[in-house]
Structure 1
Amino acid sequence: MNGMKQAELPAATTAPEIAPRAPVATAAMAKAPKVPNGRDRSEIKALAVVVVLICAAMEVASWYVPDYVMPSPQAIAKALGDLLTTDLLHVAITLGRLCVAILFSAIAGVAIGLLMGTSKRVGPYLKALVVVDTGIPALSWMLLAVFWFKDPEARIFFILTVILLPFYALNVYEGVRALSTEWVDMLESFRPTRWQMLRYLVAPHIVPYIFLTTKSVIGYAIRMVIFAELVASAFGIGSRMSFAQSTFRIDQVLAWTVLLVALNLVIQWLASVAETQLLGWRKEVKVR
């Protein structure tokens, strides 16, 4: 009897074979283009409505005031078309200055932010230096750049760098501080090197902070580069806006303004596309 029970025991306790699960997502699904969600469509719709309302307000205002105060949207559109055919070189110069300054500020700011968050020796001093930099007005840097640098390109690069770099440094520093202690303890249980800790934990964690900073400073950087060109250069959109103002061409001033807004939107969109490609694994949280 006992022998029969012992013989039947393995058969009774043997777990049934489970069929392999189907993969959650195929390669084709992973490469499928992302369909704009409701939030994206709402933002596009809101932007279109705001643009239409602004154009309508400008059209109505142009009926009651002289052209040198508020030209009609048609006159602004004509001036914009003329500028795009004659002053593309100035647009390219401004975009080049802007991209170089943002790229350098991002690289240097991320490096400084990492040192601020990971180095106990150097971090406090770097943080103090960055905090002092944030308290210096942009106009002070512009005036100092005129005295310190002879080359206009060096002036503008210096102005944009000292203004944009603290944003990246402080945001990356806050990103390092926001690391979960559980994640750090888990990774340290494998006894990683400092480079492995930076590569597998810190770097992926601060990527969203870098994109957030970039999208936040784009509009501010455009305003600063225009202001810097107005003060320290004879080339670029800022200098052309100054020339339009001196010749009482308010239509050209507004045309340049429209172009700058469009450039801001395009650069913001490119940053969002890059963020989606690199951080597409994140699920979007919707607050109801």
Structure 2
Amino acid sequence: MSEAHPQVIGDRPPKGAGDHVAAGASPRESDVRAGRSRSGTQLARARAGLAVLGPVAVLAVWWWVAQSASPLTIPQPVDVARRTVDLMFTAESTHTWTSMVRILVAVVLALAIGSGLVFLARLVPVTESLVTKALLPFLNSVPALGWAILGVIWFGVGNSAVIVVVTLILIPFCMVNMWEGMRNLDTGLQEMARSFTRSRTKMLFRIQVPLLMPYVLAAIRLSFSVGWKVALIAEFFGAQSGLGLVMNRARQSFDTPTVFATIVVVLVIVTVVERLVFDPVSQMFARRSGGGAA
């Protein structure tokens, strides 16, 4: 009787003997990849858990401290939550959304002015030192409180003072982001574009502006969060409405829950806009560019 041999078709090994080889990886490499995948999943779960447990822990500590503290120093979380709801959903929400509109207008103006100055420096090289070494340091060094006081002196108490102050504070943030974007543009793509045209204007609006969109988003994202901080200072001194005015009145009447509530309202709005607007748009730009700046 002849010995029985396993049937081999061509160069394919017996079934089950070379599954890892067929997949283009050795057994050791597959184990390493599986381990990395498990490790990455565990890290993601740990991060998600900390993101939830962190605020819960802070809230628990706050509640515990409030039990023995004076309401004038540390109010009860329930009282703050009640005032937060009032400032977001009742008649008092007018102050919140007034601040929101002012900030949005200021962000648009700051982005337009800041981008215009950066584009001017790029299109007209003789102005580069003026923009980057004189104007930018000046705007970046004036404190928000100084602009707030000047805004009241120049424009009186009202919307104009708040919008101008917030815009002036946000312009440097937009300029820095846009200038950094200009410095990191794809030089290879720009060289290819120069083979078709020598027009600086065409290069700017057809090549550079689309490539700068992730940096535009980064500027808007940063300006929106910083804008809330500046707007409350400006409204504190020179507004007849807005969250800054609410905080000022609460300070005068020692209404600590309302002071806390204004802070919570800003925190909630910025977090919601970050998660529902900026994060999806940032991911979209990252997919298009293979990893954007936003």
Equivalent residue for 1:280, pick from 274, 284, 287: 287
Contact residue 113 and residue 171 of structure 1 kept, 8 A: no
Instruction: Give me the whole-angstrom Cα distance separating, in 2, the residues matched to 1:151 and 1:72.
Output: 34
Structure 1 unmatched ranges of 5 or more = 1-36
Shift of 1:274: 2.7
Instruction: Give me the whole-angstrom Cα distance separating, in 1, the residues matched to 2:239 and 2:113.
Output: 25
What is aligned with 1:123? 128
After TM superposition, the structure 1 stretch with the greater mean CA deviation from structure 2, 113-122 or 248-257, is 113-122
Equivalent residue for 2:260, pick from 254, 271, 286: 254
Equivalent residue for 2:270, pick from 232, 244, 264: 264
Structure 1 residues 88 and 133: alpha-carbon distance in aligned structure 2, compared to 1, 3 A threshold: same
Equivalent residue for 1:225, pick from 216, 222, 231: 231
Matches within 5 A, 1:4-153: 45-83=49-87, 84-127=89-132, 128-153=134-159
What is aligned with 2:25? none
What is aligned with 1:196? 202
Structure 1 residues 44 and 215: alpha-carbon distance in aligned structure 2, compared to 1, 3 A threshold: farther
Count of aligned positions? 249
Shift of 1:42: 6.5
Shift of 1:261: 0.2
Q: Deviations for 1:106-155, whole angstroms, at most 9, x for unmatched residues?
A: 12211211222332122322222122111111111111112111252111
* Paired residue secondary structure (1:174): helix
Shift of 1:60: 0.8
Instruction: Give me the whole-angstrom Cα distance separating, in 2, the residues matched to 1:145 and 1:213.
Output: 24
Shift of 1:213: 2.0
Is 1:154 aligned with 2:160?
yes
Shift of 1:279: 4.6
What is aligned with 1:183? 189
What is aligned with 1:33? none
What is aligned with 1:234? 240
Shift of 1:62: 0.9
Instruction: Give me the whole-angstrom Cα distance separating, in 2, the residues matched to 1:109 and 1:42.
Output: 40
Q: Deviations for 1:235-262, whole angstroms, at most 9, x for unmatched residues?
A: 1011011111211211111112111100
What is aligned with 1:16? none
Q: Deviations for 1:68-97, whole angstroms, at most 9, x for unmatched residues?
A: 221221222122233332301111111110
Q: Normalising by structure 1, what TM-score?
A: 0.79
Identity %: 22
Contact residue 171 and residue 209 of structure 1 kept, 8 A: yes
Contact residue 156 and residue 228 of structure 1 kept, 8 A: yes
Contact residue 218 and residue 268 of structure 1 kept, 8 A: no
Instruction: Give me the whole-angstrom Cα distance separating, in 2, the residues matched to 1:116 and 1:281.
Output: 28
Q: Deviations for 1:203-224, whole angstroms, at most 9, x for unmatched residues?
A: 1221111112222232221110
Instruction: Give me the whole-angstrom Cα distance separating, in 1, the residues matched to 2:259 and 2:130.
Output: 44
Contact residue 146 and residue 155 of structure 1 kept, 8 A: yes
Structure 2 unmatched ranges of 5 or more = 1-39
Instruction: Give me the whole-angstrom Cα distance separating, in 1, the residues matched to 2:61 and 2:175.
Output: 41
Letter in 2 for 1:191: T
Structure 1 residues 41 and 164: alpha-carbon distance in aligned structure 2, compared to 1, 3 A threshold: farther
* Paired residue secondary structure (2:287): coil
Q: Deviations for 1:7-65, whole angstroms, at most 9, x for unmatched residues?
A: xxxxxxxxxxxxxxxxxxxxxxxxxxxxxx97987765443222111111111101221
Letter in 1 for 2:136: V
What is aligned with 2:172? 166
Instruction: Give me the whole-angstrom Cα distance separating, in 2, the residues matched to 1:150 and 1:82.
Output: 29
* Paired residue secondary structure (1:122): helix
Structure 1 residues 205 and 282: alpha-carbon distance in aligned structure 2, compared to 1, 3 A threshold: closer
